[in-house]
Amino acid sequence: MTDDRIVPVAMPKWGLSMQLGKITAWVVAEGDEVQVGDDLADIETEKITGTLEAADELAGAGIEAEVVDPRTTSPLDEDTILESVEGTGRLVVVDEATPRCNLATDISALVARKAFGALRAPIEMVTAPHTPVPFSGSLEDLYIPDPQRVVNTVKTVTEWKRDG
């Protein structure tokens, strides 16, 4: 007997710590830093393995990115995020959602409101584009933030200099 309310759903490709539609392991406990660094705070809200790949590539270029996985959105671990930004002076937030009304904007606003004085560069977000989610697999690969976009954004933030 089949249940006509059950519909198969195609899940996106996952990182190394996940299988199709099933979480196999959490990377860290709530509030733990995934990777410590001095140059930049990188807050990941969705797929941590892509950001860790980016952090490894950045380390090869001499940029130490501190990667934080907040694990929960409500309550949001504000203390860990703020401590990370205060320690590095820079912030890149990675989120698979579109750039409007997402967790990346919430985290950016939190840091701008509570740690503005600690910032040495503008906050940047790496998000999906402000478009509907595509149904084509090849377009989805372009839609979701990938490690190279994170690397490029982090380099832009770490190289930023105030004019004047």
Tens-place pLDDT, residues 47-100? 666 788 888 898 899 998 888 877 778 888 899 899 999 999 999 999 888 999
Buried b (16+ CB within 10 A) or exposed e, 126-148: bbbeeeeeeeeeeeeeebbbebe
Q: Say what the pLDDT of residue 136 is.
A: 86
Q: Say what the pLDDT of residue 52 is.
A: 81
Tens-place pLDDT, residues 138-150? 888 888 888 999 9
- C-beta neighbour count of 91 within 10 angstroms: 28
Buried b (16+ CB within 10 A) or exposed e, 25-39: eebeeeeebbbebeb
The strand pairing partners of 66, in sequence order, are 41
Could you tell me the end-to-end alpha-carbon distance of the chain, in angstroms, rounded to an integer?
Answer: 72
Q: Say what the pLDDT of residue 46 is.
A: 57
Nearest alpha-carbon partner for 87 in 53, 111, 69: 111
Cα–Cα distance for residue pair 50/47, rounded to 1 Å: 6
Q: Say what the pLDDT of residue 31 is.
A: 52
Cα dihedral across residues 87, 158, 109, 139: positive or negative: negative
pLDDT tier for residue 106 given thresholds of 50, 70 and 90: very high
Tens-place pLDDT, residues 1-29? 455 555 555 545 555 444 444 433 444 45
Cα–Cα distance for residue pair 129/139, rounded to 1 Å: 12
Token pair listed for 42: 């990188």
